[in-house]
Amino acid sequence: MKLQKVLLFAATIVVAVGALPSSIESEDESLEGLGVIMEISDDSENRKAKPKRIRQPNCYQVKEGVFPAQNCDQYYICIKQFWWFTAELHTCPAGQKYSDIANGCVTGSCRKVPKTRNVLPPTCEETGPGVFVAPNCNQYYECVKIWWWYSLNLRSCSPSKVYDPHEQLCVRGKCQ
């Protein structure tokens, strides 16, 4: 009975089919204050499933909302349960991807950009200031004018993003 009180107090969810395993019943003191979600099931398929290792948002910092996951067809929803936050991973249906703009799934597939491109760095004096394609799909060149000369900088997109030369910015996608 104490285990049930601790789990309710910690705003956790327990899905139980039948009785609790004896290993959990005997260790109820060690669960106090954890505030984690536990799923307990007699279903053999659930025992074999391993959690996916995907970077999730720290819901205590970002609060409630919808946030992109590392895979472009997945997203997290941060939900407040009592005074704890939980990040739930969701996957878009087949043929859809997550859109930051729509804050949900939209028709389309993840962008795939060639890993390398056959390009030379721009000559900033000839091109002027701007953003240009780089050989690596998740990088781009930036020409910046400083007083009377130009500076050529190689920039990198954040992880899980590629440079899209048409939009001239980093977008969610993968290198082929």
Residue extents of the structural domains in the chain: 2-48, 59-109, 113-175
In this predicted structure, what is the pLDDT of residue 155? 92
How far is Cα 155 from Cα 140, in angstroms, rounded to an integer?
A: 5
With residue 39 as reference, give the H or E element that holds it.
none
Q: What is the CA radius of gyration of the chain?
A: 24
For range 141-169, the mean pLDDT: 85
Q: Are strands 111-113 and 130-133 parallel, antiparallel or unpaired?
A: unpaired
Q: Which amino acid is at 17?
A: V
Three-state SS for 47?
A: helix
CA neighbor of 85 nearest in space, from 109, 56, 106, 110: 56
Q: Can you give the pTM of this predicted structure?
A: 0.38
Sign of CA dihedral 62, 63, 67, 70: positive
In this predicted structure, what is the pLDDT of residue 168? 79
pLDDT of residue 132 exceeding 60: yes
In this predicted structure, what is the pLDDT of residue 156? 92
pLDDT of residue 61 exceeding 60: yes
Mean pLDDT across the chain, nearest whole number? Answer: 66
Given pLDDT bands bounded at 50, 70 and 90, which one contains residue 118? low
How far is Cα 169 from Cα 29, in angstroms, rounded to an integer?
A: 52
